[in-house]
Every structure is written in structure tokens, then in C-alpha cells.
Amino acid sequence: MLSRRDFLFTATAAATVAAGAQAKRPNVLLILADDLGFECLGCYGSKSYRTPELDRMASEGMRFEAAFAQPLCTPTRMQLMTGKSNFRNWKAFGLMDPKERTFGHLFRDQGYRTAIAGKWQFWSYNPPGFEPEWRGKGQRIEDAGFEEYSVWHAYHTEDKGSRYGDPTYYENGKLYPNQKDKYGDDISADFLLRFIEKHRAEPWFVYFPLALTHGPFTPTPKSADWNTDKRLKNDTRYFKDQVEYMDGIIGRMVKRLDELGLGENTLVLFYGDNGTLSAIRTQLEAKGRTVEFQGGKGDTTEAGMRVPLIARWKGKIPAGRVNGDLIESCDFLPTICEATGVSAKSMGVIDGRSFLPQLQGRKGQPREWIYSWYDPRPGHDKERWTRTERYVFDHRWKLYEDGRLYDWAADPRETKTVENAAARKRLAQVLARYRREESAVRLTGQ
């Protein structure tokens, strides 16, 4: 039988070991760029913009060649935060069910410190007069599972203010309107770095949904026009400045992680939420020649869906690797759960598939295809996006619910339908399976 002193010593030692184990749980920094297609980064062949920090991150970690998102930001963000295909939890554009659980809830409930900074846009997207049934509804940032937050577009759409120069943001319960001479994503990055420094001895999950590089295309603090009356002027010529300023912000964050000694215990993921706006044309080196690549935001082609994905975890991810497996936004939640040991059972059905084995240099279980249920209808101001699309694709073939089949490896802009009986049969079976699941969700609500 243990004496009281021995018992206390043993209990204290056990608590110390447990605390040490807790402190060693991996951190996660998930960075989401807004309206940034794969063609915008140097490591993907861009000749139009300088992105040395993200290029370095790719050289120190892994770059994915076949990462896809939904063609618009909010559908991607819903999938990213829940691990579910949109047909399971979509209510309306820019609106999240207040009962929905996010990865913020999940990590907070399992002992992680959680923070978000950047773009929110999940509460009351529509202005007065458009789909009034959704007015004043959705999930407030206060209830989304993050113990600290600093976000843009937390309130009604017409009240959101600037996201870039002289920004408006909502931070831990207080609104800061029209902050003169400040820049939105700098505020977000500084907020998150303070949070990381404060909790560097604890496990943390940090989500950084950038405002960059979404329009309006305005000067950054490094632009020649920043200290002029053009600070809020919208002009596509400033897109280059935005891409390069975003790159610098990410470099600053990664550098600070290393300075804090957290680089070897932090999985950093950088991802895009959809393709670049069609007004943007980028010089891209592809297959040994330079071509002009037009963005395709909102479209279900490669230009609207193929995005950058770069992962860094010093000592865990082999440096300089390029991976060609299919990845989509539902895959992030199961990946970060597997990496951290956090259980996703409380999230219910998960449509994603972990790509942690690939990050670790193993084969894993790569996707054979990606299924997309895409509702682009925001209720106002985007008339060309008028219907829900259902489609499935693999590395070569893409089949839409209406029967259109494309050899999109050869025709990524989907200019001409083709016929291939084997591909049609295989992909049609996937569409039929998800149609059945969608019907079951409508009947059961799950």
C-alpha cells in the first residue's frame, strides 16, 4: 500500500506527464485565401506575381497539384468547417445554421485553444428586400466555437465596411469601424500572432480565413497609391499588390512560429477557397511554355475550382514533395483530426477523407473521384449563377447530372462534350449514390 506521501508524489508525477503530453499535442494553423486560383503562385508556375514566402513554404513542405474547392467562397467554407458536402447542411448563401457544429466547436471541446481572424460572412448575408426569410439569421461568430475572434463581415451585409484599407472589424465583442490607416489582414494576422504567443505552451487551433485576394482590388500598405486618395479605389491593377502582400503576411506568420520554437509542432495548411475572378489574367508557365490563364470564379471548370494547397510541418512532412492526389475542402477536417488525435464523432457524418498519410510521405487512400453539390445562388447581384449543379470528376473525366461528359484533363475549360461509355457508367454510379443520400437527408434531416 502506498503511503500518503508516495501517493501524492505518484499523482503529481502522473499529472506532470499528462500535462507534458497535453502540451505536445500538435498545433494547427489553417490559412484560407479568398479568390486565389493555383495559377497565382510562383511554385505553380505563375510569372505575374512574386510569392517567395509561399514558394519557400512549398519547398519546406508539400505542394498539391490536384486540390479543388467549390467555385465560390461560402460553399467551400461551409465544407471546410464541417467536413460535410453542402447537400447535408446548406441553408442559403452566406448563412450557417446556428445549430451547425464547426471545427471550432470540435477543437475547443477537446482541450484546444481556438481562435479565428479574417472573413466570417455566415450570418444574414442578404440586404433588405432580398430573400427576407433569411434576414437576421445564421450563425454568429460568438457562437461558432472560437474563444477569441477578430472578423470582418460579422453583421448585416450592408454594414460590413471596408475589408482592406481603413477597415471595419468585430473583435471579441467590440465593433471597430473605419480604422484609419490600418489594413484588414494585418489586423487579423497580428491578432492571431498575439493569440499564438499567449498560448504557445498549450495546444491551439487557429483559423485564418483571409480577406485577400477578393475584390475590391485596392492598394495595400506597400502600394505607391496607399497614401493617396486612391486608397479605396477598385482597379484590377492592384491585384498583383494584393497577392504579394498576402504572401508577405503568411511569411511573417510562419517565421514567427519558428522563432517561438513551434515549427516542429505545428501543421500549417494554406488553401484557396475558389478560383480567381475572371477579370484577372495571369501569365502561367505550363508544359514548357508560357500561356495566359484567365480566372474562372463561380464556374465549375478548372479555372473556378483548382486552387493552391501547401502544407508545412517541420520534421513530419518530407520537404520539397509534390503530390498529385485529388483533394477537396471536406478533406481538411478529418486530416487535422487524425493529425491531432481529436475525435470527429460529435460532427456526425463526414464526407471528407484524411490526406495525413500523404503528408507523411505514405500512399494513404487517395480519392478516386470528387463529388460536388454546388448551389451558387446568393439571392442577389450574381444573376449568371442561377441553379444548383451536381457533378463528379476524377483526374480525367467529369460528368454532370444533366449528362454532359468532358475529358477535362485535355479540355479543362469544358468546351466540348465527349463520349466514353466506361467513364460515364462509373461516374454515373457515384451521382446516383449521392442522389440517394440527398433524398435521405431531406427525409431525415441528417
Q: For residue 248, with 0-12 CB atoms within 10 Å meaning exposed, 13-18 middle and 19 or more buried, which class applies?
A: buried
pLDDT higher than 70, residue 4 = no
**Would you say residue 285 has pLDDT above 50?**
yes
Q: For position 382, what pLDDT does the model report? A: 60
Angle at 117 between CA 116 and CA 120, to 5 degrees: 90
Q: What does pLDDT average to over the chain? A: 92
Among residues 30, 29, 37, 28, the alpha carbon closest in space to that of 272 is found at: 37
Q: Residue 18 pLDDT > 50, yes or no?
A: no
For the stretch 392-441, pLDDT in tens is 999 999 999 999 999 999 999 999 999 999 999 999 999 999 999 999 98
**Is the CATH number of domain 25-368 3.30.590.10?**
no
Residue range 176-198: mean pLDDT, rounded: 98
Total Cβ atoms within 10 A of residue 202: 14
In this prediction, residues 48-69 reach a mean pLDDT of 98
Rounded average pLDDT over 283-297: 94
% residues pLDDT > 70 (the chain) = 92
Q: ∠ CA 195-17-105 to the nearest 5 degrees?
A: 40
Ramachandran category for residue 307: left, alpha or beta (phi over 0 → left; psi -120 to 50 → alpha): beta
Per-domain residue ranges for the chain?
A: 25-368, 389-444
Residue written as cell 517541420?
314
Rounded to a whole number of angstroms, the CA Rg of the chain reads: 22
C-alpha cell at 386: 442561377
Query: Band of the pLDDT at 64, cuts 50, 70, 90?
Result: very high
Return the DSSP state at 346: G
Query: Which pLDDT does position 444 carry in this prediction?
Result: 75
The answer to whether the beta carbons of residues 196 and 206 sit under 8 Å apart is yes
Asked if pLDDT for residue 332 goes beyond 80, the answer is: yes
Q: Are 341 and 364 in contact (CB under 8 A)?
A: no
- Distance between CA 313 and CA 359 in Å, rounded? 9
* DSSP helix/strand/coil, 434: helix
173 and 142 in contact (C-beta within 8 Å)? yes
The predicted structure's pLDDT at residue 341:
97
DSSP, res 416: S
Q: Which of 81-90, 97-106, 118-127 has the lowest mean pLDDT?
A: 118-127
What average pLDDT does this structure show over 54-60? 98
pLDDT tens per residue, range 155-170? 999 899 999 999 999 9
Cβ burial, residue 379 (10 Å; 0-12/13-18/19+)? middle
* Burial class of residue 267 (count of CB atoms within 10 Å of its CB; 0-12, 13-18, 19+): buried
Beta partners for residue 63, in sequence order: 310, 322
Task: Please give the full DSSP string across 168-184, using - where no structure is assigned.
Answer: -EEETTEEE-S-TT-BH
Lowest pLDDT segment from 55-69, 117-131, 194-208, 327-341 = 117-131
Which residue pairs, CB below 8 angstroms and at least 24 apart, start in 171-177? Answer: 172/148, 173/142
| CA neighbor of 211 nearest in space, from 190, 235, 187, 191 | 187
pLDDT at 445: 65
Give the Cα separation of 106 and 121 in Å (integer). Answer: 20
Question: What local confidence, expressed as pLDDT, does residue 256 receive?
Answer: 98
The answer to whether residue 6 scores a pLDDT higher than 90 is no
Of 65-69, 211-215, 248-252, 376-380, which range is least confident?
376-380
State the pLDDT at residue 15.
Answer: 42
**Under 8 Å CB-to-CB from 150, ≥6 apart: which residues?**
116, 117, 169, 170, 171, 172, 187, 188, 191, 192
Sign of CA dihedral 109, 260, 209, 373: negative
Q: Is 1 a residue whose pLDDT tops 50?
A: no
Q: For residue 63, what is the enclosing H or E element?
A: strand 62-67
Q: What is the mean pLDDT of residues 131-156?
A: 94
Question: What is the reported pLDDT for 5?
Answer: 36
Given a cut of 60, whether residue 19 has pLDDT beyond it is no
Flag the least confident range among 61-70, 91-100, 101-110, 330-339.
91-100
Compute how many other C-beta atoms are within 10 angstroms of the C-beta atom of residue 337: 24
pLDDT digit string, tens, across residues 347-402:
999 999 999 999 999 999 999 999 999 998 765 556 566 788 999 999 999 999 99
Q: How far is CA 228 from CA 90, 105, 223, 409, in A?
A: 42, 43, 10, 46
Predicted local confidence at residue 390, as pLDDT: 96
Region 195-213 average pLDDT? 98
Cβ pair 36, 307 in contact under 8 A: yes
**Residue 107 — pLDDT band, cuts 50, 70, 90?**
very high
